[in-house]
Amino acid sequence: MHYWLPKKYYFINELDTNTIKKCDNNTAIIYRNYNSEIIDILKILNLKNYLKKRKNKFLLSNNIKLALKLGLDGAYIPSFNKDLKHLSYSINSKFLIVGSAHNLKEIRIKELQKVKAIFLSSLFKKNKNFLDLNKFRNISNYTENKIIALGGISKKNIKKLKLLDAYGFAGISYFE
């Protein structure tokens, strides 16, 4: 089954519609809140309905089971999650599973997890996972999956993405 894969992904930590109003409807919203263990299901459902009206995809980070239960558009698997449990779930072909990786070993794990796109980081943000343009291009050649650039992407460096063969990009600072 053919699925629509967004080219832009916006990570949010707050379930607040004001932060999303700046995005166009071709941007997928990924809710990830690693600061709190309590998940407010009512807020997630309200945001789901709001995003459905705006025609945005809504993905939940690191909880595929809850994303399926709430009828969300998909789930995001962070690089530290190496679990394959979700492969035993009954998943609709339109359910979008994406994941992040920092190196070739993690890319192979994401391929085993059957993700439809791999977020490869960090492209511009100089942290311990910093790749730069050349390493990013080299690592992305080792997979057939769609590659989404992640890490430090802003309005100032967005044009540099054209040098890469990235399908799209994800971030926080670009959208704020």
CATH for 8-80+98-171, among 3.40.50.980, 3.20.20.70, 1.10.760.10, 3.90.1150.10?
A: 3.20.20.70
Strand spans (E) along the chain: 8-12, 27-31, 58-61, 74-77, 96-101, 117-121, 146-150, 168-171
* Pair 153, 121: CB distance under 8 Å: no
Phi, psi for residue 118 in degrees, rounded to 5: -115, 125
Q: What is the per-residue pLDDT for 92?
A: 87
Q: What is the per-residue pLDDT for 3?
A: 61
Q: What is the per-residue pLDDT for 79?
A: 93
Q: Which parts of the chain have pLDDT scores under 70?
A: 1-3
For the chain, the farthest-separated pair of C-alpha atoms sits apart, in whole angstroms, at 44
* Pair 30, 15: CB distance under 8 Å: no
List Cβ neighbours of 165 (8 Å cut-off, separation of 6 or more).
Answer: 137, 140, 141, 147
Q: So where are the chain's domains?
A: 8-80+98-171
DSSP reduced 3-state for 77: strand
- pTM value? 0.90
